[in-house]
Amino acid sequence: MNKGSKIATRFLLVWLLMFTLVTGMYGQQQRFPKPEFESGYAQPHTLTPEPRSTAMEWLDVAVLTAVMALSAWFVLCKRSRQGILWLSVFTLLYFGFYRDGCICAVGSLQNVALSFADPSYAISVTVLLFFLLPLIFSLFFGRVFCGAACPLGVIQDLIIVKPISMPSWLRKTLGLIPYIYLALALLFAATGSDFLVCRYDPFVGIFRMDAPFLMTILGVAFLLTGLFIGRPYCRFLCPYGVLLNWTSTVSKWHLTITPAHCIRCKLCTTSCPFDAIDRPTDPKVIKGSHDGAKRFLVYALLIPVWMAAGGFVGFKAHIRLSKANPDVYLAELLITHPEVKKDRDNIDVQTFLSSAKTMDQLVEEARGIRRKFKYGSTAAGAFIGLVIGMTLLNQVIFRRNEDYVPNNGACFSCGRCMDFCPVERKS
């Protein structure tokens, strides 16, 4: 038994012998003990700049609340599009460029999901508030968060130049995407695999002025699309928007196009860049849909079928989906391609091999994660099935509208339509 480099350092150690003999047993044992300086050397301190304080997090919560409250006031009482616009600019600067897009309500839903699935994950109060406050506001005042307090929303809102109206079939179909994204985001967050929403946030890179190449391209693509299609991310991707849509649909108060009563002048019809204005229902149309009742019945009965199909597909997909988890991926890689163990450049494999973790432990962990995926993915599939079924069913339900009214679920409360209404405010 030999210890080689000890020999190489012999001279240094011998020099320190006296010191070692005195304190050797009690001092922290190091290969090269810290010397005792004779020249009165003053040791510098290790620099550890403090993180942003918790108080500042509360400031963020306060700012968010204030912006939403102001936005609700501008939309419901003041009826001022100008106010919303300037509030948007403030949000873009504060939550966007100053706070670098993080902390954000959209991403917070993943923290909540993870804290539900993993009791050891601690969620901080401020993050929970960021998740809940916009929903609470939306339950009372509509999506005032989207209109002026969401940095992702306002950056798209501010660059709308010439919005084109999309046919309703396309909107409805693309409208399924956020539900699928929500289901996947929750699944990945709850299994502790990934925060998809944060990872593929197209705008956060712009706020930070620093992003990987592909994410920059994605962000610019969204913005360029946004010149002509109002808020593409909010309408066709945002998973948090799904929840806000639900709460806003039943909101207590909501933006109205007209301050008094609608005169059906149709002036507002082209004002909404998001096609979120419902037209008055034509009684003839409702009468015309004579097979509506039959369809309603069929679609309603189909819902369990959709859910079962979705659940089945979800169950089938759980193996593929769980491969996105790094641990599962590594375990399977080592099982199917044991030759990667010889690949010195594969950092993950090499680090695992030199760790104290055994293959058995890794595989056991991976199996645990896959088990979570099995249940999660089945539930996600059933949810997607339910959404498809409900969306279909919605297409044969007619709500009686007398006037031109905002679609409470889809309306972002940006207030553009208000300026188009020629009706004077009641004094």
Q: Which is nearer to other proteins, 42 or 427 (CB)?
A: 42
Question: Which residues have a Cβ under 8 Å from the Cβ of 330 and sit 6 or more positions away?
Answer: 348, 349, 352, 362, 366
Cα separation of 408 and 247, whole Å?
A: 9
CB of 315 to other proteins, least distance (A): 9
Q: Which is nearer to other proteins, 213 or 427 (CB)?
A: 213
φ, ψ (nearest 5 deg) of residue 382: -65, -40
Q: How many CB atoms lie within 10 A of CB 316?
A: 13
Closest of 87, 418, 133 to residue 255, by C-alpha: 418
- The residue to which tokens 């020999």 are assigned: 7
Q: Which is nearer to other proteins, 76 or 427 (CB)?
A: 76
Cα separation of 282 and 299, whole Å?
A: 23
CB of 259 to other proteins, least distance (A): 19
CB of 241 to other proteins, least distance (A): 15
Q: Which is nearer to other proteins, 2 or 427 (CB)?
A: 2
Q: Which is nearer to other proteins, 186 or 427 (CB)?
A: 186
Buried b (16+ CB within 10 A) or exposed e, 149-182: bbbbbbbbbeebeebeebeeeebeeebeebbbbb
Q: Which is nearer to other proteins, 35 or 259 (CB)?
A: 35
Cα separation of 315 and 306, whole Å?
A: 14
Q: Which is nearer to other proteins, 18 or 427 (CB)?
A: 18
Q: Is 194 helix (H, G, I), strand (E, B) or coil?
A: coil
CB of 162 to other proteins, least distance (A): 5
CB of 116 to other proteins, least distance (A): 6
Angle, CA 186 vertex, CA 180 and CA 188 arms, to 5°: 100
Q: How many CB atoms lie within 10 A of CB 55?
A: 7
Q: Which is nearer to other proteins, 28 or 427 (CB)?
A: 28
CB of 77 to other proteins, least distance (A): 21
CB of 209 to other proteins, least distance (A): 5
Residue 277: strand pairing partners: 406
CB of 147 to other proteins, least distance (A): 17
Question: Which residues have a Cβ under 8 Å from the Cβ of 208 and sit 6 or more positions away?
Answer: 100, 101
Q: Which is nearer to other proteins, 259 or 326 (CB)?
A: 326
What is the Cα 293 distance to its own chain's centre?
A: 38
Can you spell out the DSSP letters for 227-253?
A: TTSS-HHHHHT-HHHHHHHHHHHT-SS
CB of 75 to other proteins, least distance (A): 18
